[in-house]
Amino acid sequence: MRILLVEDDRDVAGFVVKGLREANHVVEHAANGRDGLFMAASEQFDAIILDRMLPGGVDGLRLLETLRAQENTVPVLFLSALGQVDDRVKGLKAGGDDYLTKPFAFAELLARVEALTRRGKADSPVTRLAVGDLEMDLLSRSVKRAGQKIDLQPREYRLLEYLMRHAGQVVTRTMLLEGVWDYHFDPQTNVIDVHVSRLRQKVDKPFPKPLLHTVRNAGYIMRADNEG
């Protein structure tokens, strides 16, 4: 994927660029709002990681508003030290697709950026999801693995749906909390892990090959081994 990073802090930018390149992405970096706007408007990117407070007279919000005014729909993730709820709301209102507050864990950033690009592509309505021999019919809300029906609670179904929609990608606990439960706070206990392990009991345990993997220090990934 081709990703543009607009970030003025040299250390943070270097760290993010290195990490994204290690994850096999092509990264361009702009150190101020003016350059960032120029690059975002003149080149094609799959995603933009955008700092809110930028030097050069064009801050992150204005950059994005200008882009959106030109009907540029590239997915944008705000990466900002402004972490109040109002700031977040402002960022999303200006056309941002996601908002991550500094300081951040790189795994979280990577997972969210990759989820963004996926979201951009999945425009056509999908009626069926499949990972390996696991199938989900979104219309009848039924789940089968190797032809065998699996009974799920409504919340387990939504959790599995979220994981399958992001198959092949790392999904963090925060993303699950936001995407499945619509909660925007940081639980101190391992509530998400418990729910994932319950889902695993139903989806993976009775079958020889696991599909739902734990990624250390990051979260979970849904993947058939032959895909990876």
Shortest separation between residue 89's beta carbon and another protein, angstroms: 8
Shortest separation between residue 83's beta carbon and another protein, angstroms: 7
Cβ atoms of 187 and 177 closer than 8 Å: yes
Shortest separation between residue 173's beta carbon and another protein, angstroms: 12
Strand partners, 4: 28, 48
Q: At what angle do helices 10-22 and 106-121 cross, to 10 degrees?
A: 60
**What strand order describes the sheet that includes 148-150?**
128-131, 134-137, 142-145, 148-150
Q: Which stretch binds another protein (CB under 8 A): 22-30, 36-44, 161-169, 193-201?
A: 193-201
CA distance readout (Å), 177 to 21, 72, 83, 116, 221: 28, 29, 18, 16, 15
Q: Which of residues 127-166 bind another protein (CB under 8 A)?
A: 155
Which of 70, 73, 148, 190 forms a contact with another protein (CB under 8 A)?
Answer: 190
Residue closer to another protein by CB (options 104, 207) is 104
Q: Which of residues 94-113 bind another protein (CB under 8 A)?
A: 101, 103, 105
Tokens of 61: 């919000």
Kindly state whether residue 11 participates in binding another protein, applying the rule CB under 8 A.
no
Q: In which region does residue 219 sit, left (phi positive, over 0), alpha (psi from -120 to 50) or beta (all else)?
A: left
Report how many residues bind another protein under the rule CB under 8 A: 23
Question: Where is 89: in which H helix or E strand?
Answer: helix 85-93
Q: Which stretch binds another protein (CB under 8 A): 7-15, 144-152, 160-168, 188-196?
A: 188-196
Residue closer to another protein by CB (options 105, 130) is 105
Residue closer to another protein by CB (options 103, 147) is 103
Q: Which stretch binds another protein (CB under 8 A): 47-55, 56-64, 68-76, 195-203?
A: 195-203
Q: Is 61 helix (H, G, I), strand (E, B) or coil?
A: helix
DSSP for 120-179? Answer: HHTTSPP-EEEETTEEEETTTTEEEETTEEE---HHHHHHHHHHHHTTTSEEEHHHHHHH
Q: How far apart are CA 202 and CA 165, in angstroms?
A: 18
Kindly state whether residue 191 participates in binding another protein, applying the rule CB under 8 A.
yes
Kindly state whether residue 53 participates in binding another protein, applying the rule CB under 8 A.
no
Kindly state whether residue 187 participates in binding another protein, applying the rule CB under 8 A.
yes
For another protein, the binding residues (CB under 8 A) are 83-86, 101, 103, 105, 155, 181, 183-191, 194-195, 197-198, 217
